[in-house]
Amino acid sequence: MELGSHAGFIVAAYATAAIVIGALVAWVALDHRAQVRALAELEAKGGGRPGRPS
Amino acid sequence: MIAPLAAIVKRDLLLAVRAGGGAGVGLMFFLAVVVVVPFAVGPDIPLIARVGPAVLWLGAFLASLLGLDGLFSADHEDGSLDLLFLAPVPLELVAAAKGLAHWLATGLPLVVLAPLLGLLLGVEPRALGAVTLSLLVGTPALTFLGLVGAAIAVALPRSGLFVAVLTLPLAIPILIFGVGATSAAIAGEAAAAPFKFALSLTLFFLVLGPAAAAAALRHARD
Amino acid sequence: MPIRDLANPHRFLALARALVPAFAILAALLLGLGLVLGFRAPADYQQGETVRIMYVHVPAAWIALGTWVLMAASALGTLVWRHPLADVSAKAAAPIGAAFCLLCLVTGALWGRPMWGAYWVWDARLTSVLVLFLLYLGVLALWRAIDDPDRAARAAAVLTLVGLVNIPIIKFSVDWWSTLHQPASVFRLGGSTIHPALLTPLLVMALGFAALFLALYLAAMRNEILRRRVRTAHILAAARAER
């Protein structure tokens, strides 16, 4: 596909979009894993949510 | 209604000019910025004279923003903020009174010092007048906008730089139109429009600032 | 289901579990379709091939602005109604909006260099979007600086509402001032001025970005709710250890 004389800029723009979106997805996914793990550890140690007798 | 507000203004003014109040420091910072810029630019006297008005605005801008520290947090720390909540005047007017005092103590001296520092930069007389006038119109806008940042960060310790950073994005238009009015006046073009814009920004922040600051203070309480 | 029901984090989590993957898949499909349409569309007669940057730059801009409006609505929820999910919504949306704002600025610069000869100019549109990015950074800094989540939410809410004044300035900047940036060509009275062959891929990409935003936003809200649970559990554990 011919992208013309400014192909570099077009590629850079789409690459940036991919990187930014990828970073957002990674952030959300990794944060999710971290929170779930933290909650599991705390529940195992007898944490539990408020209102539940420990 | 006037008496309590006048008392607040007087109290804040006294606190500002006494030791640790910060009024003098703002002026010294302004001087420091203006003195340092020619070293950074290099020995190009015509260039320095041309950017002089912008440098004056930049110095006043930074000095105003960095001086917002302690606008409310000083009162928050020693408990007088709680007393101000109980004052027989609306919190918005209390905030406005403190803003007025702060401008009189830190903003107005910048305006007075500006033409003198302009001479240091070699700015020509007509430009000096334009800069001073635009600063006179613009510095109240900076102070009253700064009320909001100071109120939002009231409970944070050592928040000086932080308040400046929070306030900066919304203060940019004030800088743009202040310098724009100055440049237009210097170039001899119709300066009326940018000046009116700058003035309307000031009036806008004179109202928005205290209102938003009062809201922020109320919400920071509970 | 009225919004009040969603105030129950439990119900929200159940909803998120279904919606996040759904929006993610929808986003993938729409973005894929948008990319295909975008690169099969004709080049612009003036701008040539670089017009294809529009298909990421413009949707990113719309998301960046829309997110601030969403944050402002959440701010009202926090300040006026004390809706518990409003805090979570505002905190989750902020980093996503900031990222899309940055993407808008960068893709804009990459488009401006071949088109205008400069990566950056200080015209009204670019300056006001840069100001928006600085405001995003300010809100993010505020969230980090204040320990107590409720206090942080209220402080961020005030800043968000004050910063809302920037949004109409961005939108109308190209009308009010003579700017290098192109005037409004999609959302304007009298209809769009973009040729349908270019408008269709743009709208498809915009919908794709919107679906992507929703997937990320709901997932981030879910994470924030879990984070608060972790915090509460820590506090309870510490209290228990003291006894």
C173, C128 contact by CB (below 8 A): yes
Nearest CB partner across the interface for A6, out of C49, C60, C103: C49
Helix crossing, B125-152 with B45-66: angle to 10°?
Answer: 30
* Alpha-carbon distance C157 to nearest alpha carbon in chain A (angstroms): 23
Domain count of chain B?
A: 1
What is the pLDDT at residue C172? 84
B49: domain range? 2-221
pLDDT for residue C123: 84
Chain B neighbors (3+ CB pairs < 8 Å): C
pLDDT level of residue B15 (50, 70, 90 thresholds): confident
Residue type, B168: L
Instruction: Provide the CB-side half-sphere exposure for A50 (13 A, CA).
Output: 9
Q: Are B137 and B202 in contact (CB under 8 A)?
A: yes
The mean per-residue pLDDT over the stretch B59-79 comes to 88
Q: Quote the CA–CA distance of A37 and A16 in Å, as a whole number.
A: 31
Whole-number pLDDT of residue A51: 52
Whether B169 sits inside 8 A of C141 (CB atoms) is no
Q: Is A47 close to C60, i.e. CB distance below 8 A? A: no
Which tokens hold the place of C45?
């007669």
Mark yes or no for CB contact C158/B219 under 8 Å: yes
pLDDT at A54: 45
Q: Show residues of chain B in contact with C161, CB under 8 Å.
A: 212
Chain A nearest-CA distance from C236, in A, is 7
* Residue C4 reports pLDDT greater than 70: no
Residue in C134, C146, C155 closest to B216 by CB: C155
Residues of chain B with C-beta less than 8 angstroms from the C-beta of C177:
none
**What is the Cα–Cα distance from C6 to C238, expressed in whole angstroms?**
30
At B38, is the secondary structure helix, strand, or coil?
A: helix
Cα–Cα distances in Å, from B160 out to B64, B140, B145, B165? 11, 19, 15, 9
Verify whether the Cβ–Cβ distance A28 to C220 is below 8 Å: yes
- Å from A38 to nearest chain C CA? 7
Statement: residue C32 has pLDDT above 50: yes
Choice between C61 and B49, residue whose per-residue pLDDT is larger? C61
Percent of chain C scored above 70 by pLDDT?
Answer: 97
Picking from B155, B165, B173, the nearest residue to C138 by CB comes out as: B165
Mean pLDDT of chain C: 89
C127–B176 CB contact, under 8 Å: yes
- Let me know if chains B and A touch, i.e. at least 3 Cβ pairs under 8 angstroms: no
Q: Which of B45-49, B185-189, C111-115 has the lowest mean pLDDT?
A: B185-189
Question: Higher-confidence residue: B20 or C75?
Answer: C75
**CB-CB neighbors (< 8 A) of C56 in chain A:** 13-14, 17
Nearest chain B residue to C165 by CA: give it. Answer: B170
pLDDT tens readout for residues B120-176: 888 888 888 899 999 999 999 999 999 999 999 988 877 788 899 999 999 999 999
Contact assignment for B148 to C166 by CB distance below 8 Å: no
Instruction: Delimit the domains of chain C by residue range.
Output: 3-242
HSE-CB for C121 with a 13 A CA cutoff: 15
**Which residue in this structure is represented by tokens 């408020």?**
A50
Nearest Cβ partner for A21 among C212, C229, C233 = C212
**Average pLDDT score over residue span C121-145:** 92
Q: What is the pLDDT of residue C162?
A: 94
* Cross-chain Cβ contact C158/B155 below 8 Å: no
To the nearest 10°, the Cα dihedral for B115, B117, B122, B128?
A: -20
Between C64 and B15, the more confident residue is C64
> CA–CA separation, C43 vs C128, rounded Å?
29
* pLDDT reported for residue C57: 95
Query: Are B152 and C145 an interchain contact pair (Cβ–Cβ within 8 Å)?
Result: no
Q: Which two tokens stand for residue C36?
A: 């295909």
pLDDT digits (tens, 9 = 90+) for B73-113: 888 888 888 888 888 899 999 999 999 999 999 999 999 99
Count Cβ neighbours within 10 Å for each residue of B137-151 and write b for 16 or more, e otherwise: bbbbbbbbbbbbbbb
> Which chains are within 8 Å of C by 3+ CB pairs?
A, B
Residue type, C55: Y
Prediction ipTM score: 0.88
Burial code (b: 16+ CB inside 10 Å, e: under 16) for B42-80 equals eeeeeebebbbbbbbbbbbbbbbbbbbbbbbbbbbeeee
Asked if residue C56 lies in contact with residue C205, where contact means CB atoms within 8 angstroms, the answer is yes
In chain C, which residue's Cα lies nearest the Cα of B155?
A: C146
For C178-198, how does the pLDDT look when each residue is reduced to its tens digit (9 = 90+)? 777 887 777 777 777 778 888
pLDDT value of position B20: 64
Phi, psi of B92 (to 5 degrees): -60, -40
Between A32, A39, A45, which is nearest C229 by CB?
Answer: A39
Query: Is the Cβ pair A23, C99 closer than 8 Å?
Result: yes
